[in-house]
Structure 1
Amino acid sequence: MQKSVHHDRISEQYQASSSQYDNVKNLPYAFVERETLLSGIPELTGKSILDVACGTGFYSRIFKRLGAEQVVGVDIEQSMVDVARQIEAERPLGITYDAVDAAALPVLGAFDVVAPIWAFVHAKDAAEYHEMVARCAANLKPGGLMVALCSNPDIDLERMAAYPRYGLSITPKDKHGDRQVIHIEMDVEPHVGFDGFFWPAGTTEAAMEKAGLVDVRRLPNRAPGHDIGMSDKGYYADFVANPPFALYTAVKP
């Protein structure tokens, strides 16, 4: 798989953390990420799902255990895919993994659900953002659902000071056009960190609509133990009120 210089940098950052990447899923912030993401995933029994930017397969394995008949995971970084395949070999669930750049994602099938999880945050520009969304949409069957975990377009950079208590730190860097460049550090050893972007409001909705998707929605953030939303009190309140991510769903007509 040939990558651009931009995607080579992304790949290198993830390659350095591939062996311990699943450890970040045990940090407090990741429980909110998981609850929020899974709130948008429909009943999977007997369904097919494409996990885009699957990393080492953490969510792919959850999707399979939720009853999905077919799970395919793709990620830009070969070392991540290698770890996912090793876990699959040791504890087989019937998941297929491959090294694929979301910006060059081919049509791998007609899936009931396509779940790009943190995939779009690394698009090098608006054109590539739209291309990624379109390529994900092309893998949906009619009536299929896209569930996309993206950067939060309404992020309050000042309130990110609360993040370290939840296991991560995000440092704003220079702006690149209309995008806010950030560096993310996860509180695990060995080190896990990478760069990304906060995209402006409307970017995801516009890309989904351009890709021909309908019923575009942004879902509320969730936290463990809460059926819907979150009160303004409690351990997770500060994080849920200003998370680094936002969850969008859309349907292919």
Structure 2
Amino acid sequence: MGSQYDTLAAITNLTADMPLRKFFEEYTFFQALGDITGRSVLDVACGTGLYSRRFKQRGAARVVGIDNSEGMVDYARHLEASQPLGIEYHVLDAQNARGLGTFDIVAATYLLHYAPSREVLRDMCTSLHASLGPGGRLVSICMSPDIELRDTSYYRKYGFEAASPGEDGDVVTVKSLVPELPFTISAYYRKRTTYEIALREAGFRDIVWHPPAVAPEGIAALGVDYWSEYLRRPHAEVFSCTK
């Protein structure tokens, strides 16, 4: 178990410190999220609890994290035991998120693009909708409908490659180029309208796609030129919507 925790800790720390996550992803996500002081948050696909901890540190009253990976949840619980913040963690997938009560905010980071069909995508959105109280918000990071998929070299300087024919429902292969963090994952490309149809069928309204943005610290650290190409075709995008 110790070696597993060490591996998961290394992955968590490396990804948390990567420029795209620290300066783009977190910045854009929390700009869309706004003030969460005193709010209840369900963190779906929480992984090792990186965002769950961020929510508590930003003043959320109740945070519950769920993930279908027992190893990830075990490590999140390990971190909670060593540095208690009052976060609950459960081994559940997005389609079985009900039963934990309702929340002011549901956060779903890198979740919806793993739905292998439109029907599963709609079911995921329906489950997320059911976890919200009246007027609650879903804030999510997903693979951008504008991702560059035909030029596999496009994202190399950002530490990965992405390739796919790029039609709705096609498999997208993402390969890490970071030597300390080698992995290859597969997800599914979806058009903007496909996401929006699934969300509306689930009962969501007021869907907003938030413009990609980089934290001022990221501009200062790496320069405008480093980010300009990425911001033209970001691989991830943040949207929010309301119950």
Task: Verify same fold: TM over 0.5.
Answer: yes
**Does 1:246 pair with 2:237?**
yes
Aligned to 2:203: 212
Write the letter of the residue equivalent to 2:194. Answer: T
> Greater CA deviation, 179-188 or 89-98?
179-188
> Greater CA deviation, 50-59 or 26-35?
26-35
Q: CA deviation at 1:246?
A: 1.5
Q: CA deviation at 1:233?
A: 4.3
Q: CA deviation at 1:248?
A: 1.1
1:194 is aligned, of 177, 185, 200, to: 185
Q: Secondary structure at the match of 1:74?
A: strand
1:182 is aligned, of 172, 176, 185, to: 172
Q: What is the alpha-carbon distance in structure 2 between the residues aligned to residue 225 and residue 73 of structure 1?
A: 29
TM-score (norm 1): 0.84
TM-score (norm 2): 0.87
Q: Secondary structure at the match of 1:116?
A: strand
1:144 is aligned, of 136, 156, 159, to: 136
Write the letter of the residue equivalent to 1:185. Answer: K
Q: What is the alpha-carbon distance in structure 2 between the residues aligned to residue 91 and residue 30 of structure 1?
A: 23
Alpha-carbon displacement from aligned partner over 1:83-121 (angstroms, at most 9, x marks no partner):
111111111111111111113322321101001111111
Aligned to 1:92: 84
**Does 1:235 pair with 2:226?**
yes
Whether the 8 Å contact between 2:45 and 2:68 is mirrored in structure 1 is yes
TM-aligned CA distance change 1:80 to 1:41, over 3 Å:
same
1:52 is aligned, of 44, 56, 72, to: 44
Deviating 4+ runs (over 4 angstroms) = none
> Greater CA deviation, 160-169 or 107-116?
160-169
> Greater CA deviation, 123-132 or 95-104?
95-104
TM-aligned CA distance change 1:20 to 1:183, over 3 Å:
farther
Aligned to 2:33: 41
Whether the 8 Å contact between 1:49 and 1:112 is mirrored in structure 2 is yes
Q: CA deviation at 1:159?
A: 5.1
Q: Secondary structure at the match of 1:36?
A: helix
Structure 2 residues not aligned, in runs of 5+ = 218-222
Whether the 8 Å contact between 1:107 and 1:135 is mirrored in structure 2 is no
Alpha-carbon displacement from aligned partner over 1:107-147 (angstroms, at most 9, x marks no partner):
32110100111111111211000000110011111111110
CA RMSD of aligned residues (A): 2.3
Q: What is the alpha-carbon distance in structure 2 between the residues aligned to residue 144 and residue 96 of structure 1?
A: 20
Q: What is the alpha-carbon distance in structure 1 between the residues aligned to residue 179 and residue 99 of structure 2?
A: 36
Q: Secondary structure at the match of 1:56?
A: coil
> Greater CA deviation, 200-209 or 108-117?
200-209
**Does 1:223 pair with 2:214?**
yes
2:11 is aligned, of 18, 21, 24, to: 21
Q: What is the alpha-carbon distance in structure 2 between the residues aligned to residue 109 and residue 18 of structure 1?
A: 29
**Does 1:30 pair with 2:29?**
no
Whether the 8 Å contact between 1:114 and 1:139 is mirrored in structure 2 is yes
Q: CA deviation at 1:157?
A: 1.8
Q: What is the alpha-carbon distance in structure 2 between the residues aligned to residue 169 and residue 86 of structure 1?
A: 32
Q: Percent identity?
A: 32
Structure 1 residues not aligned, in runs of 5+ = 1-14, 227-231
Write the letter of the residue equivalent to 1:243. Answer: P
Write the letter of the residue equivalent to 2:227. Answer: Y
Q: What is the alpha-carbon distance in structure 2 between the residues aligned to residue 27 and residue 233 of structure 1?
A: 17
Write the letter of the residue equivalent to 1:181. Answer: V
Q: What is the alpha-carbon distance in structure 1 between the residues aligned to residue 70 and residue 152 of structure 2?
A: 31
